Amino acid sequence: MEKILEVNDLSYSFCTYGGVVRAVRGVSFDINEGEIVGIVGESGCGKSVTAQCLIRLNPEPPGFFESGSISYKGSDITKMTDKEMRKIRGVEIGFIFQDPMTSLNPTMKIGKQIEEIFVQRNLYSKKEMKSKALEILKMVGISDGERRYNQYPHELSGGMKQRVMIAIALVGNPGIIIADEPTTSLDVTIEAQILDLLKDLQKKLKTSIILITHDLGVIAKMCDRVLVMYGGKIVERGTVDDIFYNTRHPYTSGLLCSIASLETEKDEELEPIEGTPPDLFSPPPGCPFAARCEYAMEVCYETMPSEYTVTDEHKTMCWLQHEHAPEVVLPCKKQQKSEVLL
């Protein structure tokens, strides 16, 4: 598979009155053509900031790149001008957000919002636009397209609005779509429909998807590979099977223990991860998870672990992988992917 995007040692921070928030710290990963990569972690772990760096959606200032590069088709996104970014954002790299109402224009009819993108991209003649817009609405499962074309966003249900957002993301036929918590605001039935739709379209169009979520159930259903983020860093990465069946990081194990599975009894309490994420104004010198980790050793508080290789695909940033570390069996490492409730 060919690499479509390469992120190398990326650090991104925000200047605030309270100091500099180091939101993303030395993150590296690749996206291959036609794959779905999930980025998972709790709120504030840096997953959304990382995704927004890829299309320069973080406000700059106060946000700024401290170091690193994002290589897309031979050009570095971190160095692009606004004009260059406008040619990529929404065209070559599409995006779908959690709340469609923040992205859809409430004063413009659905059809016109899709056509506006055709106009911006100079894609079709005026005559062709409407039939193309209806075609795309049909592709995302909106059957009564003619009626929806003439409606405003507030006239549509949450699931329908999210389908429209997907339609808009697809208009430029992008190589990559970034989907940031695309189903969090939807109920479970609609969530399943939207995820199925995304997966079907991804297969049909061979688009790569970067899926940002806090939900391992969504990861299990959708992704080929997973990046687990914590404290602005990628603490574990691997295939979905690596993460579910062979977890090597206590934080990933904690996430797995905190989700419901088919074996969870109705009244059984799930195990939350105790404690709070690190203060990114002054991140700890050692492992960012040390303050919450039941296996933390002295070295964990003092020195950042490097990334240990479990297999070619599976890597983890944890001192427990050191040859002299005590042997530990993580409690949720045998969680069955198929048992996770979606």
Identify which of residues 205 and 297 has a Cβ nearer to ligand SF4 in the complex: 297
Identify which of residues 72 and 308 has a Cβ nearer to ligand SF4 in the complex: 308
Identify which of residues 22 and 89 has a Cβ nearer to ligand SF4 in the complex: 22
- Footprint on this chain of ligand SF4 (rule: CB under 6 A): 249-250, 287, 289-290, 293, 295-297, 300, 305, 318-320
Helix axes 126-139, 158-170, angle to 10 degrees: 130
CB 249 within 8 A of CB 17: no
Helix (H) or strand (E) holding 86: helix 82-88
Min dist. Cβ of residue 320 to ligand SF4 (A): 5
Q: By C-alpha distance, which of 324, 331, 308 is closest to 258? A: 331
Identify which of residues 201 and 320 has a Cβ nearer to ligand SF4 in the complex: 320
**Exposed / middle / buried, residue 299 (Cβ in 10 Å: 0-12, 13-18, 19+):** middle
CB 224 within 8 A of CB 240: yes
Identify which of residues 38 and 250 has a Cβ nearer to ligand SF4 in the complex: 250
DSSP assignment of 197-263 equals HHHHHHHHHT-EEEEEES-HHHHHHH-SEEEEEETTEEEEEEEHHHHHHS---HHHHHHHHTS-BTT
Helix (H) or strand (E) holding 32: strand 19-32
DSSP assignment of 100-148 equals HHHHS-TTS-HHHHHHHHHHHHT-S-HHHHHHHHHHHHHHTT-S-HHHH
CB within 8 A of 214, min separation 6: which ones? 40, 41, 42, 43, 181, 184
Min dist. Cβ of residue 286 to ligand SF4 (A): 7
Min dist. Cβ of residue 226 to ligand SF4 (A): 17
Min dist. Cβ of residue 236 to ligand SF4 (A): 9
Min dist. Cβ of residue 65 to ligand SF4 (A): 27
Min dist. Cβ of residue 283 to ligand SF4 (A): 13
Identify which of residues 192 and 297 has a Cβ nearer to ligand SF4 in the complex: 297
CA dihedral (285, 288, 290, 292) positive or negative: positive
Identify which of residues 136 and 317 has a Cβ nearer to ligand SF4 in the complex: 317
Min dist. Cβ of residue 29 to ligand SF4 (A): 19
